A and B are shown apart, each in its own frame.
Chain A
Amino acid sequence: DAKTTQPTSMDCAEGRAANLPCNHSTISGNEYVYWYRQIHSQGPQYIIHGLKNNETNEMASLIITEDRKSSTLILPHATLRDTAVYYCIVRVANQAGTALIFGKGTTLSVSS
């Protein structure tokens, strides 16, 4: 699976949009981009995933560049409860039975 690079930490004011970048310059054509987050002392929570089109759900939006070498997770109106470690993971599409490999992620701190 391709490697991802994320900033170590980011800050965001409550109510503002949080934009979390991820670089995956070696991504292959059949690899999806997944985002998970982990709130302190809990298991990771699925947020969103995509292949090449932008995706939106009730939690967030995922913007993937046209060359697919990077993506941005957007939390449109961050709250204090969004404080967590956010993981960007790329995964081969035909390996649903394989594990997700976690990097170090980005620690997002939302403050009032």
Chain B
Amino acid sequence: GAVVSQHPSRVICKSGTSVKIECRSLDFQATTMFWYRQFPKQSLMLMATSNEGSKATYEQGVEKDKFLINHASLTLSTLTVTSAHPEDSSFYICSASPGTAVQETQYFGPGTRLLVL
């Protein structure tokens, strides 16, 4: 299957600082990537849809000014958590599809664990 990577895998930061998480499709191009957040013992929650060359679409309740998404190329999307607070501590996961076929599979990155102190 296609490979999606994330960097870093873990990050610890102080409250009030900003953290950038990268999501890369390694062997395919992705017009659209997705960002999810997962709290302990809960399911994945969709945060936003990242579109190459245009603004991201955020789910209801997700602050666009706090979670900045940039999709500058067909293989890279970044999520920046601005002015992070302890409640932003979570597991952040991205996904992407290699194409636009009606039954195209989505592939997920390994996730980034963020801890805000």
Binding site for B on A (CB under 8 A): 32, 34, 36, 38, 41-46, 49, 51, 87, 93-94, 96-105
Which residues on the A side are within 8 Å of B21 (C-beta)? none
Jot down 12 A-B pairs with beta carbons below 8 A, ordered by A.
A34-B105, A43-B93, A43-B109, A46-B1, A93-B103, A96-B99, A96-B100, A96-B104, A97-B32, A99-B36, A102-B43, A102-B45
Interface residues on B, range: 20 to 34
- On whether the beta carbons of A43 and B111 are closer than 8 Å, the reply is yes
Interface of A, helix, strand, loop or mixed by DSSP: loop
Residues from chain A with Cβ under 8 Å of B44 in the complex? 38, 44, 102
B28 at the interface (CB under 8 A from A): no
Q: Are A49 and B105 in contact (CB under 8 A)?
A: yes
Residues of the B chain whose Cβ atoms lie less than 8 Å from the Cβ of A105 = 43
Check B89 for interface membership: any CB of A closer than 8 A: no
In the complex the two chains form, what is the Cα distance from A105 to B113 in whole Å? 21
Write the chain A residue with the least CB distance to B113: A41
With A32-B103, A41-B113 already in contact, 9 other A-B pairs whose C-beta atoms are closer than 8 Å: A43-B93, A43-B95, A43-B108, A96-B103, A96-B104, A102-B43, A102-B44, A102-B45, A104-B43
CA distance A46 to B1 in the complex (A): 9
Q: Which residues of B contact A96 (CB under 8 A)?
A: 97, 99-104
B106, closest chain A residue (CB): A100
What 1/0 mask marks residues of chain B from 51 to 93 whose CB sits below 8 Å from any chain A CB? 0000000000000000000000000000000000000000101
Q: Does B46 contact A (CB under 8 A)?
A: yes
- A93 and B1: CB pair below 8 A? no
Nearest opposing residue in chain A for B110, CB measure: A43
Residue of A nearest to B4 (CB): A43
- Determine the chain A residues whose CB is within 8 A of the CB of B102 once the complex forms: 93-94, 96
Contact A99 to B95, CB < 8 A, known contacts A43-B110, A49-B103: yes
